[in-house]
Amino acid sequence: MNSSGYKIRNQTGIYFITFAVVEWVDVFTRRQYTEVVIDSLNYCQKEKGLEIYAWCLMSNHLHLIISSKEGRLSDTLRDFKKFTASKILSSIENNYKESRKGWMLWIFKSAGKKNTNNKIYQFWRQNNHPKELETNKFKDEKLNYIHMNPVETGLVNEPEHYRYSSAVDYCGGKGLVRICFL
């Protein structure tokens, strides 16, 4: 399937979505950049009706299972990507301690030149490959995939031990982002 086939057609459906940083740059190894994503997820819940059922922020991508209370999922995701990209890029530019600043900005600028929608930089890859979760089996499959991602990459032994994930919520704890259970 080509990338144009991946669209959110049902604005009230529950979707599995992945946002990846261009060229898979490991941006989220720094806490200040992860906080932008977490704060933005919490804001979108409170102000834009975003329902988050599961999430996991890895070093270069974000997995989500989400829906919209207001039936405007595409708009919310567009705004989320635009805001987080701008905020993270600004943080990188202004972070004198960021040893990878020149390299990262060069990559983001190179990616930005390839897309006429950008003024200078592109942070997130264009396609999110949304997949509507229409069956319980598919929901369980994607929920497990999200929570096992840090285990599979060797970051933790147990999914609930990974800080930037909803796995702790599904194990009875309280994570960094309020979730609705599937």
Say which DSSP state 162 is in: -
Which of helix, strand or coil describes residue 176?
Answer: coil
User: pLDDT, tens digit, for every residue of 104-152?
Assistant: 999 999 999 988 777 799 999 988 889 999 999 999 999 999 999 999 9
| pLDDT value at residue 3 | 40
Q: What is the C-alpha to C-alpha distance for residues 37 and 19, in angstroms, rounded to an integer?
A: 11
Domain membership flag for residue 12: yes
**Residue span of the structural domain in which 35 resides:** 3-170
Domain membership flag for residue 166: yes
CATH of the domain at 33: 3.30.70.1290
Nearest to 128 by CA among 92, 81, 174, 162: 81
| Banded pLDDT at 2 (limits 50, 70, 90) | very low
User: pLDDT, tens digit, for every residue of 51-97?
Assistant: 999 999 999 999 999 999 988 999 999 999 999 999 999 999 999 99
